[in-house]
Amino acid sequence: MIIIEELEEKDVEAVSAIEERTFSMPWSAKDFLQMIHDKNALYLTAKSDGIPIACCGVRNILGDGEITNVVVDEPYRGKGIGSRMLSELLKKGKQMGIEAFTLEVRKSNEAAIGLYEKAGFVTEGIRKNFYERPVEDGLIMWKR
Ligand SMILES: CC(C)(COP(=O)(O)OP(=O)(O)OC[C@H]1O[C@@H](n2cnc3c(N)ncnc32)[C@H](O)[C@@H]1OP(=O)(O)O)[C@@H](O)C(=O)NCCC(=O)NCCS
């Protein structure tokens, strides 16, 4: 069974391992620990049999929610877990006073763009060469 809950200290090693398997510039366990202790941040994890298999987070910056670290471990993709986790993050984000949500995504990342569009995000701009390793433009998406 998949459950979604707030990220806790005991989860950060597993979640940073998923980041390492997925991203060229992964967050470390220490980076996630800092977010857990940031009162303006909310990080969620999806767990299968108690083991973290996905993560996403948001930081509330004066009512704008900056979403980062959206990731589902490879074997669990395409099963609706990303969608479930993101909608939970949006719901909880609103409860902490976020009025509009924003994120950046690689221009070529069709899966993530599909996920965000399904959740109601719209592309409002492009950041030229925003990403490194490899260099790529970033789409700026908003859900207002
Ligand atoms: C992007 C990611 C989080 C999606 O998670 P997921 O659990 O696989 O997504 P879901 O199964 O909930 O799918 C939700 C929607 O996303 C889109 N989507 C998901 N996988 C897709 C794919 N391979 N190709 C195109 N669209 C896709 C679809 O619109 C899908 O809706 P649908 O099932 O009704 O068609 C996952 O692919 C991932 O971890 N990718 C690597 C990390 C990453 O790129 N993160 C985003 C950084 S900005």
CATH of residue 43's domain is 3.40.630.30
Q: What is the pLDDT of residues 28-87, one digit of tens each?
A: 999 999 999 999 999 999 999 999 999 999 999 999 999 999 999 999 999 999 999 999
Q: What is the pLDDT of residues 4-36, one digit of tens each?
A: 999 999 999 999 999 999 999 999 999 999 999
- pLDDT at residue 112, as a whole number: 98
What separation in Å is there between the alpha carbon of 109 and the centre of ligand 1? 9
User: How far is residue 70's CA from residue 11's CA, in Å, rounded to a whole number?
Assistant: 15
Ligand 1 binding pocket includes 114 (Cβ within 6 Å): yes
* CA angle, 100 then 117 then 60, to 5°: 25
- Domain hosting residue 34, numbered range: 2-143
Q: What is the pLDDT of residues 83-117, one digit of tens each?
A: 999 999 999 999 999 999 999 999 999 999 999 99
Ligand 1 binding pocket includes 70 (Cβ within 6 Å): yes
- How many domains does the structure of the chain reveal? 1
User: How far is residue 132's CA from residue 25's CA, in Å, rounded to a whole number?
Assistant: 8
Residue nearest to atom 47 of ligand 1 (CA): 70
